[in-house]
Amino acid sequence: MTWGISMDINVAVKPGIRIRAFYLFFIIANIQNGTGIMGVPRYIYKEAKQDSWVSILIAGLFIHIVVFVMFQILNKYENTDIFGIQVDLFGNWVGKILGTIFITYVFGSLLTVLINYIQVVQVFIFPTLSRWMITILLLLIVTYAVLGGLRVAVGVAFIFFILSIWLVIFLYKPMTLTDFGHFKPLLEASPKELLLGAKATSYSFLGLEILFFIYPFIDNKKKAQLPTQIGIATTTFIILLVTGISIGFFGGDTLEQAIWPVLILYKLIEYTLIERFDIIVVSQWMMVIIPIMILLSWMITYGVKRLYKISQKKTLFVVILLLLICGGTIKNQYTIETIIDYVAQIGFWIVIIYPLILYPLVLIKKKTNKNKEGES
């Protein structure tokens, strides 16, 4: 451990491992639309009922503001990440403690993606297939990709987004069965209920914290904010779409009881040669969650290397071992939902609220430094 060793604020990145800002759209759109999207309509509806669409728009607008603030923070530095910012603001020891908390949260987020998808596979496709087998297969892919470095991780996110976005198109069938009476009466929810509904979307918006990790590796930083904001808008649209269709099709009572309402919608789709289209969707969804797991795993290994000078390969093997144990042993649906709820609650404060607290602190720090330079 290197708690006492000072850490460089800025990060020196070789040209060969940088990525273009263009890819931030695919990174954000991919990392946010994972397993959370499967059940998000249920959680929003519990709070805002038929006015859930308003809550989603409020949440989307707020996330756009958060992303703007994150870029304002990062642009105050030459080429740094969340770890350098925290050490600069709070000192070496406190900065590293906060960085460790950040990494622990990212691991929790990674764990929820894994155990939730395994549960979905067992419920919809292979009830008798060993959780250990599913976990091992997923982690082998993740390990191979992370060992390839950030560019490989981003490449996987780009390709798998292109190969999986077509899933949205097939929601046309349940869309045609929408009962617009389920949306009445309009604007009945109170401001408090709308805000609670907006907060309920937080798990699906988590992932934007990757900006605080990946920023030093972006080649053309001045063009980075636009693709990121478009990625957020895409996530907002998808959440709005699946929630609207879910409310219109299920209605209130049924939707509140459905654990994965979005996957149930795909059960309605049938073709002559395909009786269970939802099986194809769950299988294809692996292309959605694999890039998320790869990116989150890279974030953990990068963070540990940055804080403690431990190689990414060593950290990766420890992370994979922990995921293997957790993925093979956590089986109960209530336990899985509890873990997801805890991660969502913590993520709300770390990912969405924390940047709003950091920003004024960064402004004060920079102004203080400028005054000191002026005096000297």
Show the domains of the chain with their CATH numbers: 15-356 (1.20.1740.10)
- SS3 call for 213: helix
Give the CA distances from residue 273 to residues 148, 263, 276, 277, 325, in Å, rounded to whole numbers and listed in that order: 39, 20, 9, 10, 39
Strand partners, 80: 10
User: How confident is the model at residue 70, as a pLDDT?
Assistant: 97
Give the CA distances from residue 262 to residues 41, 170, 241, 291, in Å, rounded to whole numbers and listed in that order: 8, 11, 10, 20
> pTM for the complete prediction?
0.93
Return the structure tokens found at 376. Answer: 């000297």
- SS3 call for 259: coil
- Count of CB atoms situated within 10 Å of the CB of 272: 5
Give the CA distances from residue 267 to residues 126, 164, 279, in Å, rounded to whole numbers and listed in that order: 16, 18, 8
| pLDDT in 10s for each residue of the chain, 376 residues | 555 566 788 888 888 889 999 999 999 999 988 778 888 999 999 999 999 999 999 999 999 999 999 999 999 998 999 999 999 999 999 999 999 999 999 999 999 999 999 999 998 888 888 999 999 999 999 999 999 999 999 999 999 999 888 888 888 888 888 888 888 888 888 999 999 999 999 888 999 999 999 999 999 899 999 999 999 999 999 999 999 999 999 988 888 888 888 888 888 777 767 777 778 888 888 888 999 999 999 999 999 999 999 999 999 999 999 999 999 999 888 999 999 999 999 999 999 999 999 999 999 998 887 777 666 5
Q: What share of the chain is helix, strand, coil (3-state, %, to 5)?
A: 80, 0, 20
Hey, what amino acid is at 135? T
Dmax over CA atoms of the chain, in Å, equals 79
CA 223 to chain centre: 22
User: How confident is the model at residue 277, as a pLDDT?
Assistant: 76
Q: Is 375 left (phi over 0), alpha (psi -120 to 50) or beta?
A: alpha
Hey, what amino acid is at 219? D
Strand partners, 19: 218
Return the structure tokens found at 267. Answer: 């059960």
User: How confident is the model at residue 272, as a pLDDT?
Assistant: 65
